[in-house]
Structure 1
Amino acid sequence: MTLAEPVVYEEVIGKSRFIAKAAPVASEEEALAFLEWASEREATHNPYAYRIGPLYRFSDDGEPSGTAGRPILHAIEAQGLDRVAVVVVRYFGGVKLGAGGLVRAYGGVAAEALRRAGKVPIVDWAEAAFLVPFAEVGAAYRALRGLSVAEEYREEGVLLRLRLPKDRLEALAQALTEATRGRVRRM
């Protein structure tokens, strides 16, 4: 699962203002761009974490080691999320929270932001192209019912391009092969 859309959650803890900002990200480049955008230069600290498949990074941004970035990452992992970036902006309010207090504050604010966010399943998309002889185009379209297809006419037939969930690609290729009596060519 990932987030349906960006979310912001704010809480005051020990007179410090904590603002968690989270967003879905598809790549490390997107995560870094989000973190750059969401960080507030005038804040005392901007620790963050992100997870994209097996790739993860976190930073304490000047807080004692292990008190900010890792708890934020733990909040992401504890909710079973992937392709998510979170930054927690802190404006120091004059009260020292101690290591345990910082862990609870950063992790708790990040977790609450993620709990409040809408979630969506992660869908890996695939692009596919099939060359269909003119005589088999009707049969191919029946097999492709409900899918958005782009056409390109060629001398030997119609090139059909489509985008669909990756886990449905092989079943669709098989259905097209059967519908066209094996005359379709995957490009």
Structure 2
Amino acid sequence: MREEKKQEKLPEDSYCVLLEGGQGEYVEKKSRFIATLRSCESEEEAIRFIEETKKRYWDARHNCYAFIVGSRGELSRCSDDGEPGGTAGRPMLEVLTGAELRNVAAVVTRYFGGVLLGTGGLVRAYTQAVKEGLKNCRLGRMRPGQEMEVTTDYNGVGKILYLLGSAGIEPDAADYGENVVLRLTVPQEEADALRGKMTDMTGGRVKFDKIREIYFVDKEAFQG
């Protein structure tokens, strides 16, 4: 049995992504439901993945799918691919949404086992298949953050590196020239406080240049 890991409560506008896709299988009354999941950054990429999966399982009765694209889930699509309306694609999409996943596509391939499952049985089977697939994926949590450059002198850099280490932040790059320039990615909600602490620790001998706002993978919130 998979051990459930307790996750730190994170900002509401964070979201999950697949760091590694995977497959899972569920069997119901001899019908096989094979779920394949992959990270997709665009609608075009999701459609290519769906078509590739359909070609791989060309002899299957159904290849139902669901995908979500965009950091806020701006675009989502699903298909029952011949199953009764609302029994496949929509339940699959609800599993992805419930897991707070973005930029993800799932295809569930069904090999018919000769026994009709009914509406409730189909919903349960497609739901469970995606859940089984997610167990074999590696998930990460994306958090809002800032990329910034911090410029200081050689007297101040040791203090700043100590502070960053205490906060679990490792510089993305460092340039040791006339002054020291550190390139950092910091959580959005911690940026102002970190700037204040670095200013205090160096007696004001520090300069900050905000480069851009981004989402970054939180290394403390890996799942799977």
Q: Percent identity?
A: 41
Aligned to 1:136: 156
Residue 61 of structure 1: how far off its partner (Å): 2.6
Local SS of the residue matching 2:142: coil
Secondary structure of the 1:49 match is strand
Query: Is the 2:24–2:136 Cα contact (8 Å) retained in structure 1?
Result: no
Alpha-carbon distance in structure 1 between the residues aligned to 2:127 and 2:136: 16
**TM-score relative to the length of structure 1:** 0.74
1:72 to 89, 92, 114: 92
CA deviation string 1:65-85 (max 9, x = no partner): 32211011122334x432343
Aligned to 2:8: none
1:101-112 equivalent positions in 2, closer than 5 A? 101-112=121-132
Q: Give ranges in structure 1 of 5+ residues lacking alignment.
A: none
- SS in structure 2 opposite 1:27? coil
Give secondary structure in 2 for the equivalent of 1:82. Answer: coil
Superposed, 1:155-166 pairs within 5 Å as: 155=178, 157-166=179-188
Secondary structure at the counterpart of residue 107 of structure 2: strand
Match of 1:27 in 2: 41
Could you say which residue in structure 2 is the equivalent of 1:89?
109
Q: Which amino acid aligns with 2:163?
A: A
1:70-110 superposed Cα distances (whole Å, 9 cap, x missing partner): 011122334x4323432211123344434443223212322
Structure 1 stretch displaced more, 30-39 or 49-58: 30-39
Aligned residues of 1:17 and 1:93 also touching (Cα < 8 A): yes
> Matched residue of 1:64: which SS?
coil
Please, which runs of 5 or more residues in structure 2 have no aligned partner?
Answer: 1-14, 210-224
Cα distance in 1, alignment partners of residues 181 and 79 from structure 2: 48
Bigger fraction of residues in strand = 2
Describe the shift of the 1:57–1:172 C-alpha distance in structure 2 as closer, same or farther (beyond 3 A).
farther
1:75/1:123 CA distance change after superposition, 3 Å: closer
Any idea what the Cα deviations from partners look like across 1:50-73, whole Å, max 9, x if unmatched?
345333322223333322110111
- The question of whether the paired residues in 1 share the 8 Å contact of 2:21 and 2:138 is answered with no
- Matched residue type, 1:161: R
Runs of 4+ in 1 over 4 A off after TM superposition: 33-39, 117-121
Separation of aligned partners in 1, 2:125 and 2:35: 11
Task: Give me the whole-angstrom Cα distance separating, in 1, the residues matched to 2:101 and 2:161.
Answer: 35
Q: 1:122 to 1:30 in 2, by over 3 A?
A: farther
Q: Which of 12, 15, 29 lines up with 2:30 in the alignment?
A: 15
Residue by residue over 1:12-41, the C-alpha shift from the partner in whole angstroms, topping out at 9 and shown as x without a partner, is: 334332101235x37346971654555434
Cα RMSD (Å): 3.2
Find 1:50's aligned residue among 64, 67, 72: 67
Matches within 5 A, 1:114-153: 114=134, 116-117=135-136, 122-124=141-143, 125-145=145-165, 147-149=169-171, 150-153=173-176
**SS in structure 2 at match of 1:22:** strand
